[in-house]
Structure 1
Amino acid sequence: MSDVTFAVLDVAPEPYAVTPILMARIGIASVAAEPVHAIALKCQVRIEPSRRAYSDDEAAELMDLFGPRERWAATQHSFLWQHATAMVPGFTGTTQVQMPLECTYDFEVAAAKYLHALRDGTIPLQFLFSGTIFTPGDRGFAVQQVPWDREERYDMPVTVWRDLMQQHFPNTGWLRLDRETIDALAAYRTARGLLGLDDAITSLLAATSAKELR
Protein backbone atom coordinates (compact mmCIF):
# COMPACT_ATOMS: atom_id res chain seq x y z
CA MET A 1 0.00 0.00 0.00
CA SER A 2 2.19 2.79 -1.32
CA ASP A 3 0.03 5.62 0.05
CA VAL A 4 0.72 4.90 3.74
CA THR A 5 3.47 7.08 5.22
CA PHE A 6 5.13 7.31 8.63
CA ALA A 7 6.66 10.16 10.65
CA VAL A 8 8.44 10.20 14.02
CA LEU A 9 6.74 12.97 16.00
CA ASP A 10 8.42 12.61 19.38
CA VAL A 11 10.55 10.33 21.56
CA ALA A 12 10.23 10.55 25.35
CA PRO A 13 10.87 8.38 28.45
CA GLU A 14 8.01 6.15 29.58
CA PRO A 15 7.57 7.29 33.21
CA TYR A 16 5.79 4.17 34.53
CA ALA A 17 7.90 1.37 33.03
CA VAL A 18 9.82 -1.00 35.31
CA THR A 19 12.74 -1.15 32.85
CA PRO A 20 14.18 1.74 30.78
CA ILE A 21 11.84 2.34 27.83
CA LEU A 22 11.56 5.27 25.44
CA MET A 23 8.23 5.77 23.68
CA ALA A 24 8.42 6.89 20.04
CA ARG A 25 5.22 8.59 18.92
CA ILE A 26 4.67 7.62 15.29
CA GLY A 27 2.30 9.52 13.01
CA ILE A 28 0.71 7.45 10.24
CA ALA A 29 -1.19 8.78 7.22
CA SER A 30 -3.15 7.06 4.45
CA VAL A 31 -4.54 9.02 1.51
CA ALA A 32 -6.71 6.09 0.36
CA ALA A 33 -10.47 6.42 0.66
CA GLU A 34 -10.92 3.00 2.27
CA PRO A 35 -10.04 2.49 5.94
CA VAL A 36 -7.02 0.60 7.19
CA HIS A 37 -8.13 -2.29 9.41
CA ALA A 38 -4.78 -2.61 11.20
CA ILE A 39 -1.01 -2.51 10.71
CA ALA A 40 1.42 -4.96 12.29
CA LEU A 41 4.23 -2.42 12.29
CA LYS A 42 7.92 -3.28 12.56
CA CYS A 43 10.81 -0.87 12.73
CA GLN A 44 14.58 -1.12 12.61
CA VAL A 45 16.05 1.79 14.58
CA ARG A 46 19.60 2.70 13.61
CA ILE A 47 22.12 5.31 14.77
CA GLU A 48 23.85 7.44 12.11
CA PRO A 49 26.92 8.84 13.91
CA SER A 50 28.26 10.81 10.93
CA ARG A 51 25.25 13.16 11.02
CA ARG A 52 26.52 15.19 13.99
CA ALA A 53 29.70 16.83 15.32
CA TYR A 54 31.56 15.78 18.48
CA SER A 55 33.54 17.58 21.16
CA ASP A 56 37.04 16.42 22.11
CA ASP A 57 35.69 14.79 25.30
CA GLU A 58 33.08 12.90 23.29
CA ALA A 59 35.68 11.86 20.72
CA ALA A 60 37.89 10.43 23.48
CA GLU A 61 35.05 8.24 24.77
CA LEU A 62 34.17 7.11 21.25
CA MET A 63 37.70 5.83 20.57
CA ASP A 64 36.66 2.21 21.27
CA LEU A 65 33.90 2.42 18.66
CA PHE A 66 35.39 4.51 15.86
CA GLY A 67 39.11 4.92 16.55
CA PRO A 68 40.82 8.34 16.30
CA ARG A 69 39.14 11.23 14.47
CA GLU A 70 41.32 10.86 11.39
CA ARG A 71 39.75 7.44 10.74
CA TRP A 72 36.12 8.46 11.25
CA ALA A 73 35.39 8.89 7.54
CA ALA A 74 35.95 5.15 7.17
CA THR A 75 34.66 3.90 10.55
CA GLN A 76 31.57 5.99 11.34
CA HIS A 77 28.97 3.83 9.65
CA SER A 78 25.29 3.58 10.52
CA PHE A 79 24.72 0.78 13.03
CA LEU A 80 21.73 -1.01 14.53
CA TRP A 81 20.32 0.21 17.83
CA GLN A 82 17.29 -2.08 18.10
CA HIS A 83 14.20 -3.63 16.52
CA ALA A 84 10.80 -2.36 17.66
CA THR A 85 7.19 -3.32 16.98
CA ALA A 86 3.73 -1.86 17.46
CA MET A 87 0.17 -2.90 16.58
CA VAL A 88 -1.71 -0.06 14.90
CA PRO A 89 -5.51 -0.23 15.30
CA GLY A 90 -7.88 0.56 12.44
CA PHE A 91 -8.09 4.12 11.15
CA THR A 92 -9.07 6.27 8.21
CA GLY A 93 -6.89 9.18 7.13
CA THR A 94 -4.38 9.69 9.94
CA THR A 95 -3.56 8.21 13.33
CA GLN A 96 -0.78 8.00 15.89
CA VAL A 97 0.72 5.06 17.76
CA GLN A 98 3.26 4.67 20.56
CA MET A 99 6.20 2.40 19.75
CA PRO A 100 8.29 1.24 22.75
CA LEU A 101 12.08 1.36 22.45
CA GLU A 102 13.71 -0.82 25.09
CA CYS A 103 17.05 0.54 26.34
CA THR A 104 20.05 -0.75 28.26
CA TYR A 105 22.88 0.88 30.21
CA ASP A 106 25.25 -2.05 29.57
CA PHE A 107 28.53 -0.52 28.36
CA GLU A 108 29.37 -3.74 26.50
CA VAL A 109 26.61 -2.88 24.00
CA ALA A 110 27.85 -0.59 21.21
CA ALA A 111 24.76 1.62 21.18
CA ALA A 112 24.93 2.17 24.95
CA LYS A 113 28.62 3.08 24.68
CA TYR A 114 27.80 5.61 22.00
CA LEU A 115 24.86 7.15 23.86
CA HIS A 116 26.79 7.37 27.12
CA ALA A 117 29.64 9.25 25.39
CA LEU A 118 27.43 12.12 24.20
CA ARG A 119 27.37 15.27 26.35
CA ASP A 120 24.77 17.40 24.57
CA GLY A 121 23.17 18.05 21.21
CA THR A 122 21.12 15.33 19.53
CA ILE A 123 21.27 11.62 18.73
CA PRO A 124 20.91 11.03 14.96
CA LEU A 125 18.38 8.21 14.55
CA GLN A 126 17.05 6.48 11.46
CA PHE A 127 13.73 4.59 11.55
CA LEU A 128 13.27 1.94 8.84
CA PHE A 129 9.62 0.86 8.78
CA SER A 130 8.23 -2.46 7.57
CA GLY A 131 5.34 -4.74 8.44
CA THR A 132 1.92 -5.89 7.25
CA ILE A 133 -1.10 -3.73 6.38
CA PHE A 134 -4.64 -5.15 6.63
CA THR A 135 -7.24 -3.42 4.43
CA PRO A 136 -10.77 -4.20 3.14
CA GLY A 137 -10.88 -6.86 0.43
CA ASP A 138 -13.21 -9.07 -1.56
CA ARG A 139 -13.13 -11.74 1.17
CA GLY A 140 -13.36 -9.36 4.12
CA PHE A 141 -9.78 -8.10 4.19
CA ALA A 142 -6.64 -7.96 2.11
CA VAL A 143 -3.00 -8.16 3.20
CA GLN A 144 -0.24 -5.92 1.87
CA GLN A 145 3.32 -5.18 2.93
CA VAL A 146 4.63 -1.82 4.06
CA PRO A 147 6.77 -0.55 1.14
CA TRP A 148 10.51 -1.08 1.62
CA ASP A 149 11.33 2.63 1.22
CA ARG A 150 9.40 3.89 4.28
CA GLU A 151 12.02 5.51 6.49
CA GLU A 152 12.34 8.58 8.69
CA ARG A 153 15.22 10.45 10.35
CA TYR A 154 14.81 11.92 13.81
CA ASP A 155 17.31 13.85 15.93
CA MET A 156 16.55 12.89 19.53
CA PRO A 157 17.92 15.29 22.19
CA VAL A 158 20.68 13.73 24.29
CA THR A 159 18.80 14.99 27.36
CA VAL A 160 16.01 12.49 26.60
CA TRP A 161 18.46 9.57 26.96
CA ARG A 162 20.09 11.05 30.05
CA ASP A 163 16.71 11.70 31.71
CA LEU A 164 15.74 8.06 31.08
CA MET A 165 18.94 6.73 32.65
CA GLN A 166 18.62 9.11 35.59
CA GLN A 167 15.06 7.92 36.13
CA HIS A 168 16.05 4.25 36.38
CA PHE A 169 19.70 4.40 37.52
CA PRO A 170 20.13 7.68 39.44
CA ASN A 171 23.82 8.58 39.69
CA THR A 172 24.87 5.02 38.84
CA GLY A 173 26.01 2.92 35.89
CA TRP A 174 26.55 -0.75 35.10
CA LEU A 175 29.74 -2.71 34.39
CA ARG A 176 29.93 -6.39 33.39
CA LEU A 177 32.71 -8.24 35.22
CA ASP A 178 34.00 -11.81 35.13
CA ARG A 179 32.70 -14.07 37.89
CA GLU A 180 36.23 -14.42 39.31
CA THR A 181 36.63 -10.62 39.43
CA ILE A 182 33.34 -10.26 41.32
CA ASP A 183 34.36 -12.99 43.79
CA ALA A 184 37.74 -11.31 44.35
CA LEU A 185 36.07 -7.93 44.93
CA ALA A 186 33.61 -9.52 47.35
CA ALA A 187 36.45 -11.14 49.29
CA TYR A 188 38.36 -7.83 49.39
CA ARG A 189 35.22 -6.04 50.63
CA THR A 190 34.57 -8.61 53.36
CA ALA A 191 38.17 -8.67 54.57
CA ARG A 192 38.15 -4.89 55.05
CA GLY A 193 34.62 -4.54 56.38
CA LEU A 194 33.45 -2.39 53.45
CA LEU A 195 29.75 -1.92 52.75
CA GLY A 196 29.61 -2.74 49.04
CA LEU A 197 31.51 -3.51 45.84
CA ASP A 198 31.51 0.18 44.96
CA ASP A 199 33.43 0.85 48.20
CA ALA A 200 35.84 -1.98 47.35
CA ILE A 201 36.63 -0.51 43.92
CA THR A 202 36.99 2.99 45.38
CA SER A 203 39.42 1.65 47.99
CA LEU A 204 41.50 -0.12 45.34
CA LEU A 205 41.62 3.02 43.17
CA ALA A 206 42.69 5.11 46.15
CA ALA A 207 45.44 2.63 46.98
CA THR A 208 46.67 2.66 43.38
CA SER A 209 46.72 6.46 43.29
CA ALA A 210 48.66 6.58 46.55
CA LYS A 211 51.30 4.22 45.11
CA GLU A 212 51.63 6.30 41.95
CA LEU A 213 52.25 9.47 44.02
CA ARG A 214 55.13 7.93 45.91
Structure 2
Amino acid sequence: MKGLELEVLGVEVERYAAVPTLSFRVRLEEPDHGKVHAVLLRTQVRIEPERRSYGPAERDGLVELFGQPSQWSGSLHPFLWAELATCVGPFQGATEVALPMAVSYDLEVAAGRYLQGLRGGEVPLVLLFSGTVFRVHDGRPLVEPIPWQAEGRLGLPRSVWEEAMDRFYPGSGWIRLPRTTIDALGEYKARGALATWDEAVRSLLRAAEVPQ
Protein backbone atom coordinates (compact mmCIF):
# COMPACT_ATOMS: atom_id res chain seq x y z
CA MET A 1 0.00 0.00 0.00
CA LYS A 2 1.61 3.22 -1.20
CA GLY A 3 1.60 6.49 0.67
CA LEU A 4 0.13 9.79 -0.45
CA GLU A 5 2.00 11.38 -3.37
CA LEU A 6 2.54 15.15 -3.55
CA GLU A 7 3.67 17.29 -6.46
CA VAL A 8 4.42 21.04 -6.53
CA LEU A 9 2.78 22.51 -9.64
CA GLY A 10 3.73 26.16 -9.36
CA VAL A 11 3.52 29.40 -7.42
CA GLU A 12 1.70 32.69 -8.00
CA VAL A 13 0.75 35.90 -6.24
CA GLU A 14 -2.38 35.63 -4.10
CA ARG A 15 -4.62 38.37 -5.49
CA TYR A 16 -7.02 38.86 -2.61
CA ALA A 17 -4.78 38.63 0.45
CA ALA A 18 -4.60 41.26 3.19
CA VAL A 19 -0.76 41.15 3.16
CA PRO A 20 1.79 40.23 0.47
CA THR A 21 1.21 36.52 -0.08
CA LEU A 22 2.47 33.80 -2.42
CA SER A 23 0.32 30.77 -3.16
CA PHE A 24 1.89 27.38 -3.92
CA ARG A 25 -0.23 24.97 -5.97
CA VAL A 26 0.23 21.38 -4.83
CA ARG A 27 -1.34 18.19 -6.20
CA LEU A 28 -2.13 15.36 -3.78
CA GLU A 29 -2.79 11.87 -5.14
CA GLU A 30 -3.90 8.71 -3.39
CA PRO A 31 -2.16 5.99 -5.50
CA ASP A 32 -4.92 3.42 -4.94
CA HIS A 33 -7.50 6.03 -6.08
CA GLY A 34 -9.40 5.52 -2.85
CA LYS A 35 -11.25 8.11 -0.82
CA VAL A 36 -9.30 10.39 1.48
CA HIS A 37 -11.34 11.91 4.29
CA ALA A 38 -8.80 14.59 5.29
CA VAL A 39 -5.13 15.50 5.27
CA LEU A 40 -3.39 17.54 7.94
CA LEU A 41 -0.52 18.87 5.85
CA ARG A 42 2.58 20.58 7.22
CA THR A 43 5.04 22.17 4.84
CA GLN A 44 8.52 23.59 5.33
CA VAL A 45 9.55 26.03 2.61
CA ARG A 46 13.33 26.19 2.34
CA ILE A 47 15.63 28.26 0.12
CA GLU A 48 18.53 26.33 -1.44
CA PRO A 49 20.98 29.12 -2.43
CA GLU A 50 23.64 26.69 -3.66
CA ARG A 51 21.40 25.67 -6.58
CA ARG A 52 21.92 28.86 -8.62
CA SER A 53 24.74 31.12 -9.80
CA TYR A 54 25.24 34.80 -8.85
CA GLY A 55 26.44 37.83 -10.75
CA PRO A 56 28.96 40.37 -9.35
CA ALA A 57 26.28 42.73 -7.98
CA GLU A 58 24.47 39.81 -6.34
CA ARG A 59 27.67 38.53 -4.73
CA ASP A 60 28.26 41.99 -3.26
CA GLY A 61 24.68 42.14 -2.00
CA LEU A 62 24.90 38.77 -0.25
CA VAL A 63 28.18 39.26 1.61
CA GLU A 64 26.37 40.15 4.84
CA LEU A 65 24.38 36.92 4.64
CA PHE A 66 26.96 34.39 3.43
CA GLY A 67 30.34 36.10 3.86
CA GLN A 68 32.85 36.68 1.08
CA PRO A 69 32.33 34.60 -2.11
CA SER A 70 35.55 32.74 -1.31
CA GLN A 71 33.75 31.35 1.74
CA TRP A 72 30.57 30.29 -0.06
CA SER A 73 31.59 26.67 -0.51
CA GLY A 74 31.09 26.31 3.23
CA SER A 75 28.39 28.91 3.94
CA LEU A 76 25.88 28.44 1.11
CA HIS A 77 23.46 26.05 2.82
CA PRO A 78 19.65 25.67 2.67
CA PHE A 79 17.72 27.72 5.22
CA LEU A 80 14.12 27.88 6.37
CA TRP A 81 11.82 30.51 4.85
CA ALA A 82 8.44 29.53 6.29
CA GLU A 83 6.39 26.76 7.89
CA LEU A 84 2.82 26.25 6.68
CA ALA A 85 -0.10 24.24 8.05
CA THR A 86 -3.08 23.31 5.88
CA CYS A 87 -6.16 21.15 6.36
CA VAL A 88 -7.20 19.43 3.12
CA GLY A 89 -10.81 18.30 2.85
CA PRO A 90 -12.20 15.04 1.42
CA PHE A 91 -11.27 13.95 -2.10
CA GLN A 92 -11.32 10.85 -4.30
CA GLY A 93 -8.12 9.85 -6.06
CA ALA A 94 -6.46 13.28 -6.43
CA THR A 95 -6.96 16.96 -5.71
CA GLU A 96 -5.13 20.28 -5.93
CA VAL A 97 -4.74 22.71 -3.06
CA ALA A 98 -3.30 26.19 -2.58
CA LEU A 99 -0.77 26.77 0.20
CA PRO A 100 -0.68 30.51 1.00
CA MET A 101 2.54 31.95 2.43
CA ALA A 102 2.82 35.55 3.64
CA VAL A 103 6.06 37.28 2.62
CA SER A 104 7.71 40.52 3.71
CA TYR A 105 10.56 42.97 3.13
CA ASP A 106 11.98 42.37 6.62
CA LEU A 107 15.74 42.73 6.14
CA GLU A 108 16.32 41.32 9.64
CA VAL A 109 15.19 37.93 8.28
CA ALA A 110 17.54 35.80 6.17
CA ALA A 111 14.96 35.27 3.39
CA GLY A 112 14.34 39.03 3.12
CA ARG A 113 18.04 39.80 2.86
CA TYR A 114 18.54 37.03 0.31
CA LEU A 115 15.70 38.15 -1.96
CA GLN A 116 16.76 41.79 -1.67
CA GLY A 117 20.27 40.79 -2.73
CA LEU A 118 19.14 39.11 -5.96
CA ARG A 119 18.89 41.06 -9.21
CA GLY A 120 16.67 38.63 -11.10
CA GLY A 121 16.44 34.97 -12.01
CA GLU A 122 14.83 32.39 -9.76
CA VAL A 123 14.87 31.59 -6.06
CA PRO A 124 15.56 27.83 -5.72
CA LEU A 125 13.02 26.38 -3.29
CA VAL A 126 12.31 22.98 -1.80
CA LEU A 127 9.01 22.17 -0.07
CA LEU A 128 9.30 19.45 2.57
CA PHE A 129 5.99 17.80 3.41
CA SER A 130 4.86 15.98 6.53
CA GLY A 131 1.56 15.39 8.32
CA THR A 132 -1.25 12.88 8.62
CA VAL A 133 -3.63 11.25 6.14
CA PHE A 134 -7.08 10.00 7.18
CA ARG A 135 -8.53 7.53 4.66
CA VAL A 136 -10.31 4.24 4.14
CA HIS A 137 -8.72 1.06 2.76
CA ASP A 138 -10.73 -2.14 2.23
CA GLY A 139 -13.52 -0.66 4.30
CA ARG A 140 -11.25 0.07 7.26
CA PRO A 141 -10.40 3.58 8.49
CA LEU A 142 -6.67 4.27 8.42
CA VAL A 143 -4.51 7.01 9.89
CA GLU A 144 -1.14 7.26 8.14
CA PRO A 145 1.80 9.64 8.15
CA ILE A 146 2.81 11.37 4.94
CA PRO A 147 6.01 9.63 3.72
CA TRP A 148 9.13 11.34 5.09
CA GLN A 149 10.63 11.59 1.60
CA ALA A 150 7.69 13.65 0.26
CA GLU A 151 9.09 16.89 -1.17
CA GLY A 152 8.99 19.09 -4.23
CA ARG A 153 11.38 21.59 -5.81
CA LEU A 154 10.67 24.62 -7.95
CA GLY A 155 12.24 27.89 -8.98
CA LEU A 156 10.36 30.96 -7.74
CA PRO A 157 10.91 33.84 -10.21
CA ARG A 158 12.14 36.80 -8.19
CA SER A 159 9.74 38.90 -10.26
CA VAL A 160 6.80 37.04 -8.68
CA TRP A 161 8.00 37.94 -5.17
CA GLU A 162 8.57 41.52 -6.33
CA GLU A 163 5.03 41.63 -7.76
CA ALA A 164 3.62 40.55 -4.40
CA MET A 165 5.60 43.31 -2.66
CA ASP A 166 4.64 45.99 -5.19
CA ARG A 167 0.92 45.30 -4.72
CA PHE A 168 1.24 46.65 -1.17
CA TYR A 169 4.49 48.66 -1.12
CA PRO A 170 5.09 49.93 -4.69
CA GLY A 171 8.70 50.97 -5.11
CA SER A 172 9.32 50.81 -1.36
CA GLY A 173 10.97 48.66 1.29
CA TRP A 174 11.15 48.46 5.06
CA ILE A 175 13.99 48.74 7.56
CA ARG A 176 13.37 48.09 11.25
CA LEU A 177 15.08 50.62 13.54
CA PRO A 178 15.28 50.96 17.33
CA ARG A 179 12.92 53.57 18.80
CA THR A 180 15.88 55.66 19.94
CA THR A 181 17.15 55.83 16.35
CA ILE A 182 13.67 56.74 15.08
CA ASP A 183 13.41 59.49 17.73
CA ALA A 184 16.81 60.89 16.76
CA LEU A 185 15.92 60.78 13.07
CA GLY A 186 12.64 62.52 13.86
CA GLU A 187 14.47 65.34 15.64
CA TYR A 188 16.84 65.72 12.67
CA LYS A 189 13.84 65.80 10.30
CA ALA A 190 12.11 68.49 12.39
CA ARG A 191 15.25 70.69 12.73
CA GLY A 192 15.79 70.59 8.99
CA ALA A 193 12.11 71.23 8.21
CA LEU A 194 12.18 68.13 6.03
CA ALA A 195 8.76 67.01 4.81
CA THR A 196 9.28 63.22 4.74
CA TRP A 197 11.38 60.48 6.31
CA ASP A 198 12.84 59.81 2.86
CA GLU A 199 14.09 63.39 2.65
CA ALA A 200 15.69 63.06 6.10
CA VAL A 201 17.56 59.89 5.13
CA ARG A 202 18.64 61.35 1.78
CA SER A 203 19.93 64.46 3.55
CA LEU A 204 22.07 62.29 5.82
CA LEU A 205 23.35 60.30 2.84
CA ARG A 206 24.33 63.51 1.04
CA ALA A 207 26.16 64.70 4.14
CA ALA A 208 28.06 61.41 4.22
CA GLU A 209 28.74 61.71 0.45
CA VAL A 210 27.05 58.38 -0.24
CA PRO A 211 25.84 58.02 -3.87
CA GLN A 212 22.05 57.91 -4.18
Q: Distance in 1 between matches of 2:70 and 2:209?
A: 33
Match of 1:50 in 2: 50
Residue deviations 1:104-146 (CA, integer Å, cap 9, x gap): 1110100110011111111100000001101126997332111
Match of 1:163 in 2: 163
Match of 1:100 in 2: 100
Q: Distance in 2 between matches of 1:53 and 1:21?
A: 26
TM-score where L is the length of structure 2 = 0.94
Match of 1:22 in 2: 22
Number of aligned positions between the proteins? 211
Q: After TM superposition, list the pairs within 5 Å mapping 1:114-129 onto structure 2.
A: 114-129=114-129
What amino acid is the match of 1:25?
R
- Shift in Å, 1:199: 1.3
Residue deviations 1:124-183 (CA, integer Å, cap 9, x gap): 000000011011269973321111110111111111111111111101110111111100
Match of 1:142 in 2: 142
State the identity as a percent: 41
Q: After TM superposition, list the pairs within 5 Å mapping 1:1-214 onto structure 2.
A: 2-136=2-136, 141-209=141-209
- Shift in Å, 1:186: 0.6
1:105 and 1:174 in contact (8 A); partners too: yes
2:3 and 2:146 in contact (8 A); partners too: no
- Shift in Å, 1:194: 1.3
What amino acid is the match of 2:172?
T
Residue deviations 1:167-208 (CA, integer Å, cap 9, x gap): 111011101111111001111111222112211111111222
Query: Structure 1 residues 208, 33: CA separation in 2 closer, same or farther (over 3 Å shift)?
Result: closer
Q: Distance in 2 between matches of 1:127 and 1:52?
A: 17
- Shift in Å, 1:28: 1.0
SS at match of 1:74: helix
TM-score where L is the length of structure 1 = 0.93
What amino acid is the match of 1:196?
T
SS at match of 2:91: coil
What amino acid is the match of 1:116?
Q
List runs of 5+ in structure 1 lacking aligned partners: none
